[in-house]
Amino acid sequence: MSTDLRHIQLMDTTLRDGEQTQGVSFTPVEKVSIAKALLQSLRVDRIEVASARVSLGEKEAVTSINAWAKQEGFAGRVEVLGFVDHTRSVDWILETGGGVINLLIKGSEKHCRVQLGKTLAQHTEDVLQTVNYALEQGLKVNVYLEDWSNGYHDDPDYVYGLMDNLQDSGISHFMLPDTLGVLSPDEVFVNFSDMCNRYPKLQFDFHPHNDYGLATANVMAAVRAGVNAIHCTVNCLGERAGNASMAEVAVVLRDKMHMQLSVDESHIVRISAMVENFSGKRIAANAPIVGADVFTQTAGIHADGDHKGGLYKTKLGPERFSRTRSYALGKMSGKASLKKNLEMLELDLSEENQKKVLARIVSLGDSKQTITTDDLPFIIADVLESKNYQHIKLLNCSITSGLDLESTASLRVKVNGVMHVASGSGNGGFDAFVDAINKVMQQHNYTLPALADYEVRIPKGGHTSALTECVITWDCGSELRKTRAVHSNQVFAGVLAALKIINMQLHELGLTQG
């Protein structure tokens, strides 16, 4: 077996084909930023940045990208889609300082006949007119055979005829799209093997779409058939189900097919986030390589295996992409999950305290599916400060709030073995709870102390689903006392902190009276 690795070109078309995603339109500044990141950081081989003659804003962006590319040594790697319109697309590209036109021609007999109303000979004449003019003006010319996948299936002789007419015209790349994403890997392999064998001196690109979810698999089949250039987009942007994912294609070609690539993987996630922000199209948390959760182990048994010997680690490690592995905390957590998170925080807890913290994590997991490493210090502080006093126990509590409406609270508690039901109202959910709980506690000759301070916070950089820590400072007359509680709901974090001061003071009253 030869050890001579093939180099596969990756052409990113996020800024052209990816912009055909419903609702996506990059501003000129965003386009320039993405183009710079793709060429300079990710180091893709080529980028396709626009369609000719679309708008003044598009022209401004392409002009800026071309000027930057020439200055930084990337001239010739910026491409623009053009049309069979003789001089118009070519002149537009020349006015932007461009050097490459990707000419869109009809790759199926049906498109040629129905859309254009022309024969193969007539269409070839028009194509060559534009190609020759572009070459005369010094542009490099590539051609897209639009709807090639259906055209090859329905009438291969038309495709052969078109290729025969164009193969000696000076075209650099013949780019064969699966325009409607209809091909399977087996079909891709057969079709491209035929094209590569029939025209061995020509350079073919594959432009896949993902309508059947087969884009990455189809890329593998095309490369196996002999194709040396693949088109893809960041975050699978593109019409309908999108194009092939840059992240998936790069990793699969390297790991599964042992191909050489120019791409710098360490920038994949950062550029994915940039495109996500600019496009407004959120990627799934479980999207391969770039998803938020793909390097997070949830099951305790996986954390245990990694802790004991890296049993659940693969070649597809987060470090390749400037990411880190994490171990989710929740109701499925085990000791190893907690230990891994404690290691990340450089915290050391005794076995007894680890058990307490883990029990609290599992309990919280019923109300909040995932607890992050950032949440952990809140939980530890809450657990280690807690005393297991059960003089008052909250059995049930419902709090409602509305815009311009008074908040209400209904609760059921047990105080020293006696059941109580009460309701209250107030200026906010916590105030309503205090009103209700004071009605109960007055029967036990107790009133909550006044608030000196009330602080609510989430972990730094936390999300809206983060755990909430509530720290209440109570004015107990001769001293100020603090209680802390953690909950996924900020009002109930305050409720739990209030129950702690009640339990502490009831306990002290009991000791004093005893």
Active site residue 484: no
Active site residue 146: yes
Let me know: does 471 contact 445? Beta carbons within 8 Å: no
Query: Which amino acid makes up residue 313?
Result: K
CA 173 – CA 140 distance, rounded (Å):
9
Number of Cβ atoms within 10 Å of the Cβ of 509: 14
Let me know: does 468 contact 487? Beta carbons within 8 Å: yes
DSSP state of 320: G
CA 459 – CA 375 distance, rounded (Å):
6
Q: Which two tokens stand for residue 419?
A: 């059941």
Sheet architecture: strand order including 450-457: 450-457, 468-475, 480-487
Of 58, 79, 109, 146, catalytic = 146
CA 339 – CA 326 distance, rounded (Å):
11
Task: Write phi, then psi, for 392 (nearest 5 degrees).
Answer: -125, 135
The answer for residues whose C-beta is within 8 angstroms of residue 122's C-beta and 6 or more apart is 116
Reduced to 3 states, what is the DSSP secondary structure of residue 159?
helix
SS (H, E, C) 255-318: HCCCCECCCCHHHHHHHHHHHHHHHCCCCCCCCCCCCCCCCEECCHHHHHHHHHHCCCCCCCCH
Of 16, 46, 254, 484, catalytic = 16
**Beta-strand pair 450-457/468-475:** antiparallel
Q: Which two tokens stand for residue 198?
A: 């029939």
Residues recognised as catalytic? 16, 146
